[in-house]
Structure 1
Amino acid sequence: MGPSPPSRLLLGLTLFFSLTHATVTVYTPTQVVFTTAPAVSGTPAAYTGVAAYNPGTLSPPPLPSPTVLTNPIPINLQNAGTPGLGVKQKGSFLGFSIEMSVTNQVLGKNSTLLQVPFLNLMANIVQRAGSVMVRVGGNSQESAHLVAMGEILNGRVLSKNLTGVTGTTQTPPLDFTPDLLYMMRNISELVNVHWFLGIPWFTTTPFDLAIVPAATSILGPYPLGLQARNEPDMYNLHGHRPATYGPYGYGGEISDFLTQVGFWCFF
């Protein structure tokens, strides 16, 4: 007659774990607890993914000798009359500069689809500084052309002529619709952002000033100023002015600009 079922279970477990070099503790014929030998890890493979997700850790360097100061440094603060201070500035004195050609990636897709990460960043700064100054312009402002609403397909606020890039920066000519300005206005209504805008300056006879009345009308109280040119000292190097172009030539263009615009503006 063969062994009883609990004996067969114990015998089978004993034979099985004798091959794996593990121990077996049997409390009842139906309850088994396994205790295995510790695993030995091999040499980890070198990480080849994105650096931001590298799981490796660095060992901290030893403290310098003499060591760093760990005790608080006493500073006598004064409520007023502190000597050596400069002109008092608002908390929003420093701002941001956004290249005009990437506003549809940073600010939003259009006036109804705003970028939430940008709004969150601006809101956090406004809580501490009261407002934020943002300049929209750069190399791509120089040939930016305002077109009618709906002229750019699929509800986009701008389009780039990638076959007409110029200069060492390979900046493409840019078309944008008034919806870009409406997008900026909607951002300002939510998080109190104020704007500087760039005026195109590659063509001067006459200047393309369509952005001036559009910004004044659409942005309401939120524009801070207009920037007349971007890096004019690089115009001759990028092929947008003759080699003899300098401060005198730029001064003449400013005079022509003020004559055409018909009023004084800050830039």
Structure 2
Amino acid sequence: MEKINQDKGLGSDMWWKRLLRIVIVLGGFWMVFNLFFSTIYPIATYVREDVKEKVAQNGGKYLSIKEIPIEFQLAVISTEDRRFYSHPGFDLRGIGRALYVNLEQGPSQGGSTITQQLIRNTILRQERSVERKAKELALAFALETQMSKREILELYLNAIYFGDGAYGAEQAAQTYFGKPLAELSYPEWTLLAGLPNAPSAYNPYVAYDLAKKRQREVLMNLVETKRLTEKEALDYLEAPLHFAKSGG
């Protein structure tokens, strides 16, 4: 009996030792990971510099997150990346849903998060390949460890392409409506929020009906996330839009 108890104690000790080794290995990996992406390859610095350089090159105006209306932020998040504030840079549910839809209907969804899109539009090229997608996922996770969600969203909204030569939300507001982003109406914000998914296809100057269809999707997304009632969404959809130039 005494030998059995000793064997049980030995087994228990081995279990804790294994667990301790795993914790030490994971802790070491995490330290090396953070050290690499904060000093050797400072990903946050590279992304910040790239976005601000692009804004300057395109003659736009960089907006801080405090200068970007919350209504517009929520419209973009509800449409582009509903779980933005809870995922670690990639969304496994979104990837799974996109794979299912693509298998059923053909290529139509990418499953990319806002963080992945930011990586793709700054330090990675746009080509489609398995290797590039793997890098995108890894770098998106790395960026999330080095930067707050608010800054990621800020950089994304200053970098993303809205069509018709407009990069960033402020330049898009001026391009389509001839006024600053902060002065737009809810209908105008929701039309802009739908453009980054396919900026050329949804450009209201060349495809007004498609742009309105996309705006409806944005508004219904806001209804689904309980930011609007269905009546409010339909009222906004029917509201007139006054564009900066003819074509819409």
TM-score, with length taken from structure 2: 0.26
Where relative contact order (Cα < 8 A, 6+ residues apart) is larger, the structure is 2
Give the helix-richer structure, 1 or 2.
2
Q: TM-score, normalised by structure 1?
A: 0.24
Flag the structure with larger Rg. Answer: 1
